[in-house]
Amino acid sequence: MRMSTSSMAFQLGASSSRSFSSSSIPRWTQDVFLSFIGEDVHQNFISHLYHALHQRGINTYIDNNLERGVEISPELFKAIEGSMISIVVFSKNYSDSKWCLDELLKILECKEMVKQIVLPLFYDVDPSDVRHQKWSFGEAFARVEYKFKADKLKLTKGKAALEKVANLSGFELGDRDELEFIQDIIKWVDSKMVDRTPLNVAKCPVRIESRVRDIYEQLNMGRNDIICIVGIFGTGGIENGIKRLTDMCLITITIHNTLWMHDLLQDMGREIIRKESRNKSGGRSRLWFYEDARHVLEENVGTNNVEGIKVVLLEGDDHDVICLTPKSFAKMKRLKFFISRGARFSGRSLNYLSNELRVLDWSNCHLESLPSNFHGEKLIDFQP
């Protein structure tokens, strides 16, 4: 929580700035960083927004434990640097807080250096008032001007930062219902996260070497007098559709062997999956919503259509425990990946796991052992 106080240092993000490489690919430690002044919005709007983001599975950093009068720490600047998205909540007293202005300048630095996404929200304040420091917002900034009238450089930087962020495309509360306002924000964040969702190569690939050797032997790769064309197919078929997707700017393959997917591509994929079985989640090929996965596993209503399950929850999430039975996976003979991070399970044994599994990434797994009929011969990523 950012509290307006004269004892906070107006650092402007200079002293604790991390050096960035403009060509490097950032590794986000959280999805969203919230910048706000507590006295205006913390008790109601911010708590509701944070809860909505949290419920959506969006990892959000909110600073509400720092004591009044403590200068911004390097850890807080690192939290900003590690965020994919920064949401700046402009309210009437935002510019009266030197703490908030410090954050704002750090956010702008990250926007320029690591392409962080910035979303301004205008809560009971007009965007024009923020851009030009007018009316109540201007009065708040005038108090900062008085405190730092001897330091023109700091004032210039702060004023320019307010104008620059306020000129970005954002959302204005206006006369709307707050719930509708929050829903629009969640949809926007969802779309941006999908746009930057990385698909990483497994850290500990299993059995890859033997498969590569098999390909070499089948194609006589030791000979230099032939030209070979190889088509590799995975789940759903990779085809030659990767080059086309790259040409259409729907995916980007980075120098770090990471694939970035455009939000349109994932939205289209999810809609296709939903159409597979609109009313019965157990009939879909992939499950990614917590409630869908829980229903399928607890009620044992999975089918051979299910090829992948991914459940990712924030640490400390208050979702109910998923109650497994020995037969929870029995009907999913074609399951190829199961990823669970942060979800809690009960049940100590399973009678069956698909031998089609390629990825088994199961944190908080309390199984005493894997089923005796599970051989794992096709696993390429195993993280119990």
Cα separation of 305 and 312, whole Å? 21
Q: Is 103 one of the annotated active-site residues of the chain?
A: yes
Q: What is the DSSP string of 180-249?
A: HHHHHHHHHHHHHHHHTEEEPPPSSB-SHHHHHHHHHHHHTTT-SS---------TT--SSHHHHHHHTT
Q: Supply angle C-alpha 222, 224, 227, rounded to 5.
A: 105
CB atoms within 10 A of CB 169: 8
Closest CA to 89 of 143, 147, 46, 51: 46
**Which amino acid is it at 264?**
L
Lay out the sheet containing 197-199: strands in order across. 197-199, 259-261, 251-253
From 103, 109, 145, 178, the catalytic residue:
103
Neighbours of 254 (CB within 10 A): 12
Where do the DSSP E strands lie in the chain?
30-35, 60-61, 83-90, 117-122, 171-172, 197-199, 251-253, 259-261, 286-287, 308-312, 322-323, 337-341, 345-346, 359-362, 381-383
Token reading at 18: 């991390």
CA distance 111 to 94: 20
Query: Where in the sequence numbering do the catalytic residues fall?
Result: 103
